[in-house]
Structure 1
């Protein structure tokens, strides 16, 4: 009986993780900071680039596996993406904002306390794929 209760609990939790709505007002917020930061469940990258960096970053991010746009646009100058892990569907949110020559990219997890560097690795890989090289 205990095994069935645990199994049902796991299914409920994983269902919530995969199906929980993403509140745009909570996740589509401008990145803040003037220097790179590595956190346990987040990363901030501040790039001094040309004015087309958001367009380049957007093309790379949209091509990323399991990634889709949550909110924003190139015209707005800020886009938030949601990327889900393959197996369990854990969501990570990445917001990129262009302000003149500065591109700020903030990636963070939604559930848990640590992402084991997944957001940092993803953001750095996306930056490396940009035609300008970030």
Structure 2
């Protein structure tokens, strides 16, 4: 019985340590870079993420509207850039484990670009696609 209690205690410590690592590990600032990522208008599934590009008459105004929607999303915060800069990065964390996903939003000419991708693992199970499509829908894009 003592061995089972010790084993359960070790498992609990490992789970807490893994959760703390996921929640507290710094995100490499390179994940906020947009150079070379712009795409033609359309939707692009990515390994561990999703990207959408929309050609708009005034992408700056649409970026401001989308930025407001993104910042109102639960567990999401802007971590770099701004609408005034024409580029911004956000981190959204999952409710239970706190897994971070990075979303990049920027203007490239007449195109508004948005790209979401996971930080840990290989598959986001479609979470970034669903989130981005929801934001775009709410913004009427």
Q: Give yes or no for TM over 0.5.
A: yes
| Residue 14 (structure 2) pairs with residue 32 (structure 1) | no
Higher share in helix: 2
Q: What CA RMSD, in Å, does the superposition of the two structures yield over aligned residues?
A: 1.3
TM-score for both structures, normalised by structure 1: 0.91
Q: CA deviation at 1:5?
A: 2.1
**Distance in 2 between residues matched to 1:6 and 1:50, nearest whole Å:** 55
Q: Unaligned 5+ residue runs, structure 1?
A: none
The residue that corresponds to 2:127 in the other structure is: 118
> TM-score, normalized by length of structure 2?
0.86
Does the 8 Å contact 2:38/2:108 carry over to 1? no
**Correspondence for 1:61:** 70
How far apart are 1:99 and its partner, in Å?
Answer: 2.0
* SS of equivalent to 1:38: strand
After TM superposition, list the pairs within 5 Å mapping 1:43-122 onto structure 2: 43-51=50-58, 52-122=61-131
Aligned length, in residue pairs: 131
Matched, 1:16 2:36: no
Structure 2 residue runs without a partner (length 5+): 1-5
1:44-83 deviation line (CA, Å, top 9, x unaligned): 1011113212111101101111110010011210000000
Task: Please give the alpha-carbon distance, in whole angstroms, between the structure 1 residues aligned to 2:43 and 2:81.
Answer: 23
Structure number with greater Rg is: 2
